[in-house]
Structure 1
Amino acid sequence: MMAAPLLLAACASSGPVTQLDKDTYMLTTSSRWHGNDGVAILGLQQADTYCKNLGGRMRVVGSERSEGVVGFLPPKALITFKCDKVS
């Protein structure tokens, strides 16, 4: 039962987190196996993990999604986020 989520996660891809400004970042995720919402969730989880590793809290400042074309182009999500300092 645990193999299925691992296989699905392996089919997802994301680009590296790109720093746009001092505390603003962007990343893109895509997956043939996760629908449009699933791809967005994967991106948010990656952004959250990235900020936690920096000792901050993730805050979304923008996002775009494309639904893709079944069997040809996977859905994609582009997320712009800030890593706010935790007090």
Structure 2
Amino acid sequence: MVLPSPRCTCEGCDCGIGKKLNEIREKERTYEFLLILDDEFSVIRTQILAMKPFPPIGSVYDLLAEDEQQRALSGGVKRTGTESSTF
């Protein structure tokens, strides 16, 4: 998803456009990250995409890690042979 870039409208450039651009870049990276997740994360991905305001990448990662941990505890996460042998 590509969001429109803001443009500076002030003469002394004290409008904070740099901050706005960083926020847009972070949002784009977060969208890209969510789109490459496996299908097992489809429910939490949809919930995150519906959040208003859209959460920063750190919060998204925390939500995904919590979801994965809950599914692992309830037996809902498929484990590879290496992961299964550690238990």
Q: TM-score, normalised by structure 1?
A: 0.32
Q: Would you tell me which structure has more strand in proportion to its own residues?
A: 1
Q: TM-score, normalised by structure 2?
A: 0.32
Q: Which has the higher contact order (CA 8 A, sep 6+)?
A: 1
**Which protein is bigger by CA-based radius of gyration?**
2
Q: Would you tell me which structure has more helix in proportion to its own residues?
A: 2
